[in-house]
Chain A
Amino acid sequence: MKKEKTYRALSIAVLALVLIFALIGWIHTPYDPDLMDGSAKYLAPCLAHPFGTDKFGRDIFSRIAVGCGTTALISVAVIAIGAFFGTILGAFSGYIGGVFDRVMMRVSDIIASFPSIFLALVFVGIIGPGTLNLILALGIVFIPTFARVVRSEFVVQKELEYVKHARLMGAGILRIVFVHILPNCKRSFLSTLTIAFNSAVLAEAGMSFLGLGVQPPTASLGRMLSEAQPQLMRAPWIAIFPGLFILFTVLGFGLLAASFSERR
């Protein structure tokens, strides 16, 4: 379909841009992102500094590249935790059913009724701020997201003929769950993945913006935005570029998720 293709092409273009920046951040940035240069404070975007410099004379372009890398790493780690534990919990919950399933689903329904940034705030409130704690907190927050989707697939799949056959052939529960049923959940899993990335990026940026996520001096897009706020009048570019890159990342995953939902 035309709509699906347009969404996908746009999302790939936007995400590629962010990924290129992340790669620059990981491999080599034009300037040291933490290098302070007293002679280059508050430079407006120019040829030497395409995105300008901040109040310490640090190059915004380099800092954004590093920030994109940080955001990418954190989101991947967060989603890995959420997807891994969520899939296992959802799979067994759906396959076994009964009381275990009902309790699990009641709990994840409650958790799912709260926005991820609020839950992340609660967890960080308990275990304290910091990058690792943020990853852990957001990772836990995304467990129910995956558990619910995988569970609903399992509830349907476990009644199908091929599962009954596998059971008749003497396959154990682990084999049925992981080898037979799980590969068939790929499609709904993928679309959940994109939606989860979308909110993970937003939650990470929001938490770092509040000063409760990535700690300085590590460059992160959310943190850059909050640091830029006091100098908004003098140097708006310090805020605008990191903000745009958060927007691009969220938009990229949003479009990708939309293209998946068009396919159905």
Chain B
Amino acid sequence: MKYIGKKVLILFATLLVMSFLVFLAFEAVKGDAALSALGDNATPEQIEALREEMGLNQPMTVRYGKWLAGAARGDLGMSTNYSVSVSELMKDKIAVTVHLAVLSLILILFIGLPLGIGTSGIWSAGGDIAVGVFNQIGMAVPPFFLGILITWIFGLLLSWFRPGAYVDLSEDFGRGLGFLVFPALAIALPRAFTLIKFIRDSMAGQKRLNYVRTARSKGNDERRVLYVHMLRNALIPVITFFAMIVAEVFAGSIVIEQVFGIPGIGRLLVVSIANRDFPVILAIVLYIAVIVLTVNAVVDILYHILDPRVMLED
């Protein structure tokens, strides 16, 4: 229990420090927001008045405090580009990205787990190399290239979906899913190969341990040793892998949303970076940071529960 409390505390401290640093960095580079809002023709009085109104004359720390207080209430400021509030802008897009990410994660598990477990019995030198090389190729495919290939083959040649179009899940679940499956596959496939490699490496590590020899000497056949004794231990590290993968899936969805024209926060982030719309970038960056760090903390805690030998020193 103490362990969990500590983890949660560290999580909040990290998020606080991170938000401050990112806020600081944006403040340092963005220049005078009042000046850029009014343009070159504004009189000094006008600029001064707007500056006062926007609270730009206050010290950095005060402005950060205000932003933080606002963020806690769900008010993330105004987008400089669209003149709507950031929360308004992000509201619908978050759901889209989360749907895409969850579907990708499901696909990774559905493709990676059975193939990883299925191929983990292949120990022969030739077979091992063949599976290994195949895995490397799978992991090396850039998701955006895979996305383009999928668009070309399934969208244009086979017409299974219309590239560029998008139907939200809440409007029509079946059709929405049809539009999400292909981008999710582009994110998931390379990572599924990583999972296969991960399971195989984990199983290979178990092979040398004493309990495996014991299990074998007690007369268990090879399949039972493999799939009952070893698999259970080999799958524990997969939880850590899952934490890594959540972060990568969100990063992948930033690029893939661009390929398939999906209106999620990844696309919003890219557009906002190009337009230098700082309040939006700040909000999205921190949103993704919250997800990644929370998942990491949860995984650490889960790991601790499943394998009590793991006691982190801090």
Contact = CB atoms under 8 A, between A and B. Distances in A.
A113 B293 contact: yes
A233 interface: yes
A219 interface: no
Contact of B145 (A3, A128, A225): A225
A55 to B, nearest CB: 16
Nearest to B142: A246
15 contacts: A6-B129, A7-B133, A110-B293, A113-B293, A117-B255, A118-B251, A122-B281, A125-B269, A206-B142, A212-B270, A226-B144, A226-B258, A228-B148, A243-B142, A254-B140
Interface stretch (B21-29, B41-49, B101-109, B302-310): B21-29
A83 interface: no
A200 interface: no
A165 interface: no
Contacts of B129: 2-3, 6-7
Contacts of B288: 118
Contact of A236 (B14, B152, B272, B281): B152
A121 interface: yes
Interface in A97-146: 110, 113-115, 117-118, 121-122, 124-129
Given A210-B258, A232-B156, A247 B141 contact: yes
B220 interface: no
Task: Give the secondary structure class of B's interface.
Answer: helix
Interface string B244-258: 100110111011001
A209 B248 contact: no
A243 B254 contact: no
A132 B125 CA distance: 45
Interface string B67-84: 000000000000000000
B54 interface: no
A134 B219 CA distance: 59
Contact of A251 (B137, B144, B250): B137
A239 interface: yes
Contacts, number: 125
Contacts of B272: 125
B115 interface: no
B152 A128 contact: no
B140 A10 contact: no
Contacts of B142: 202, 205-206, 243, 246-247, 250
Nearest to A3: B129
A105 B170 CA distance: 43
A114 B137 contact: no
Nearest to B25: A126
Interface in A207-255: 209-212, 222, 225-226, 228-229, 232-233, 236, 239-240, 243, 246-247, 250-251, 254-255
A228 to B, nearest CB: 8
Q: Is the interface of A mostly helix, strand, loop or mixed?
A: helix
A258 interface: yes
Contact of A125 (B125, B139, B273): B273
B202 interface: no
Contact of B285 (A125, A129, A251): A125
Interface in B277-314: 278, 281, 285, 288-289, 292-293, 296
A258 B29 contact: no
Contact of A243 (B128, B149, B296): B149
Contacts of B270: 121, 210-212
B61 interface: no
Given A122-B285, A124-B273, A251 B25 contact: no
A126 B140 contact: no
A251 B136 contact: yes
Given A115-B248, A229-B259, A247-B140, 12 more contacts: A6-B129, A7-B133, A114-B289, A121-B285, A125-B269, A125-B272, A129-B274, A205-B144, A225-B148, A232-B148, A232-B156, A240-B149
Contacts of B132: 3, 7, 258
A236 B255 CA distance: 20
Nearest to B125: A2
B301 to A, nearest CB: 15
Contact of A113 (B140, B273, B274, B296): B296
Nearest to B141: A247
